[in-house]
Structure 1
Amino acid sequence: MSQFGKVGPGHAQGQAGLQIFRTGAPTHDLSQRVVEVGPGHRLFLAVPKGPAPAGGWPVLYMLDGNAAFDFLTPEHLALAPGLVLVGVGYDTDRQFARERRTLDFTAPDGPGDGLRPDPVHQGRTAGGAAIFHDRLTGPLRAAAEAGLPVDPARRTLWGHSFGGLFTLYALLARPGGFARYAAISPSIWWDEGLIRRVAQAAAPAALPLLVALGDREKRSGSDGPPPDGPAPATMQFIADLRAHPGHDAQVHVLREHIHIQTLAGSFPLALPFAAAD
């Protein structure tokens, strides 16, 4: 296995070994539990072993929690010994719940609840981001933070791929949910016009935003060699956001990273970003 974890062609169906729960970590106590909310979620927690500061710990919420904690190592946690990590996953033994994340991480479009057939993946339903955001910042947050001294002004949201797309949606459409945002290889290609309409509908909040993406990423199933540079659509989207007063994202291009590698490749950036004052 490489330093980036499971990166073979079948990674989307891969099992989550969650080795960190067997090895433990010097800096954090680790736990996981199932929460009977919505479709059923698993929460993965890494809580600092030291005393909490007077204002409470900062906390990093990580979407696709099964995969995020599968790639997480004690060395990553040592980068932010005073940071709580909450992996928000699904009640599955796989790294990714593909149908659920398509529904939960894609923005609504149109009247009503915004749900509609996925225009890219036949047989899936999309558009549930507003519903999921309410679940994430409501009962899932309450379950994750129960009994923990957390600083509510220092919550960060992290997401990779479709999770990165949701992270941008949350920043633009629901900026009160978190104080900071880390969008990793966001799947802007899924519906570039929609995310641009979301951005235009509400002036982007001038909140800290970290974006990281690889220079060798390509869509699953696409032909040809990997590209030699970051996704132009993502770079242009961030450039457009920067045109708004007060908005200036941190952008990091991860060299020689394909799509799945940017997940763990972002941890050395995202954990200190979330732990910063």
Structure 2
Amino acid sequence: MQGFVNRGNCRIMSQLGQVGPDHARKQAELRIFQTGAPTHALSQKVVAVGPGYRLFLAVPRAPAPAGGWPVLYMLDGNAAFDFLAPEHLALAPGLMIVGIGYDTDRQFARELRTLDFTAPEGPGDGLRPDHVHEGRTAGGAAIFHDRLTGPLRAAAEAGLPVDPARRTLWGHSFGGLFTLYALLARPQGFARHAAISPSIWWDEALIRRVAQEAPPASLPLLVALGDREKRSGSDGPPPDGPAPATMQFVADLARHPGHRAQLHVLPGLIHIQTLAGSFPLVLPFACAN
């Protein structure tokens, strides 16, 4: 552990959790539910909506402030809580964390996340075949966003003092792509957005069009990616810099009214490593007023 960043009661370790395992079909061990955490009460619940979702909750043990706790929603909750350690939670004692996962024992439900995290081709359009992964269905982001901000959020926050003005959405890879969609197409859903290694390559033209059609906004956006990433299916040597499509998207977004991204390039990290590598950035980001 090296260095700390202080954000009030969200004191964050600057080098914690930067390495993750291969993730194709890895089982989620969820050790944090075995070890427990002194600063947070941990629990899980299944919500029978759509394909069935599993919620992973880390609720601060300390009393909530008058306005309620800030809350960080993490997509791919099975994987996010597989990487989350008690040390992370100890350094953000005033932050509630909700993992939105699927009712599976794996880190990732690949077919379901493709469906949920990819945007329709246009407003009112339905589902469509995934043009990259044969046999998968895509285009369900609008449907999933309604579930996320409706029954899933209601189940996660039931009976808990949450500050509705301090909800942050975090997503990695396809989850990062969905996070950008949520910011641009449904900005009323969350106050802050953190897109980690977003899979812009999946349909670069579509996400650019969504950005161009988005209304002016001033919501905080954090974007992080590694400088050794390759998209799924690519070959050749590892790159020696961050993904050009993502860097260009961030540059283009800066010219859109009101949108400004806080950009972080994580040195030496490949795609899966940026998931946990983003935690030291995202936790203080979610704690901000």
TM-score, L = length of structure 1 = 0.96
Structure 1 letter corresponding to 2:219: L
Select the structure with the greater relative contact order (CA < 8 A; seq sep ≥ 6).
2
Structure 1 letter corresponding to 2:103: D
Per mean C-alpha deviation after superposition, the further-off stretch among 75-84 and 91-100 is 75-84
Structure 1 residues 162-201: aligned runs within 5 Å = 162-201=174-213
Q: Does 1:83 align with 2:72?
A: no
SS at match of 2:120: coil
SS at match of 1:136: helix
Structure 1 residues 235-274: aligned runs within 5 Å = 235-274=247-286
Deviations 1:128-179 (A, max 9, x none): 0000000000000000000100000000000000000000000000000000
- Aligned partner of 1:40 in structure 2 is 52
Deviation at 1:112, TM superposition (A): 4.2
Superposition CA RMSD, Å: 1.3
Deviation at 1:5, TM superposition (A): 5.5
Alignment partner of 1:7 out of 7, 16, 21: 21
Deviation at 1:6, TM superposition (A): 4.3
Provide the rounded CA distance (Å) in 1 between the counterparts of 2:260 and 2:209. 19
Alignment partner of 2:135 out of 100, 123, 133: 123
Q: Are the counterparts in 1 of residues 17 and 279 from structure 2 also a CA contact under 8 Å?
A: no
Q: Are the counterparts in 1 of residues 217 and 257 from structure 2 also a CA contact under 8 Å?
A: no
Provide the rounded CA distance (Å) in 2 between the counterparts of 1:111 and 1:63. 23
- Aligned partner of 2:78 in structure 1 is 66
Q: Are the counterparts in 1 of residues 126 and 140 from structure 2 also a CA contact under 8 Å?
A: yes
SS at match of 1:120: coil
Q: Does 1:224 align with 2:236?
A: yes
Q: Are the counterparts in 1 of residues 17 and 277 from structure 2 also a CA contact under 8 Å?
A: no
Q: Are the counterparts in 2 of residues 90 and 97 from structure 1 also a CA contact under 8 Å?
A: yes
- Aligned partner of 2:110 in structure 1 is 98
Structure 2 letter corresponding to 1:170: A
- Aligned partner of 2:165 in structure 1 is 153
Deviation at 1:33, TM superposition (A): 1.1
Provide the rounded CA distance (Å) in 2 between the counterparts of 1:108 and 1:269. 30
Deviation at 1:205, TM superposition (A): 2.0
Identify unmatched segments of 5+ residues in structure 1.
Answer: none
Q: Are the counterparts in 2 of residues 113 and 128 from structure 1 also a CA contact under 8 Å?
A: no
Provide the rounded CA distance (Å) in 2 between the counterparts of 1:128 and 1:262. 25
Provide the rounded CA distance (Å) in 1 between the counterparts of 2:195 and 2:156. 21
Deviations 1:233-274 (A, max 9, x none): 101101111112332210000010000000000000001100
- Aligned partner of 2:67 in structure 1 is 55
Deviations 1:79-119 (A, max 9, x none): 31100000000000000000000000000014644310001
Aligned pair in 2 of structure 1 residues 86, 3: CA closer, same or farther (>3 Å)?
closer
Per mean C-alpha deviation after superposition, the further-off stretch among 171-180 and 26-35 is 26-35
Alignment partner of 2:28 out of 5, 16, 27: 16
Deviation at 1:78, TM superposition (A): 2.1
Structure 1 residues 135-150: aligned runs within 5 Å = 135-150=147-162
SS at match of 2:183: helix
Identify unmatched segments of 5+ residues in structure 2.
Answer: 1-15
SS at match of 2:24: helix
How many residues matched?
A: 274
Q: Are the counterparts in 1 of residues 212 and 256 from structure 2 also a CA contact under 8 Å?
A: no
Structure 1 letter corresponding to 2:287: A
Deviation at 1:220, TM superposition (A): 2.6
- Aligned partner of 1:214 in structure 2 is 226
SS at match of 1:196: helix
Provide the rounded CA distance (Å) in 1 between the counterparts of 2:281 and 2:131. 33
Aligned pair in 2 of structure 1 residues 168, 204: CA closer, same or farther (>3 Å)?
farther
Q: Are the counterparts in 2 of residues 4 and 71 from structure 1 also a CA contact under 8 Å?
A: no
Structure 2 letter corresponding to 1:157: L
Q: Are the counterparts in 1 of residues 19 and 277 from structure 2 also a CA contact under 8 Å?
A: no
Deviation at 1:195, TM superposition (A): 0.3
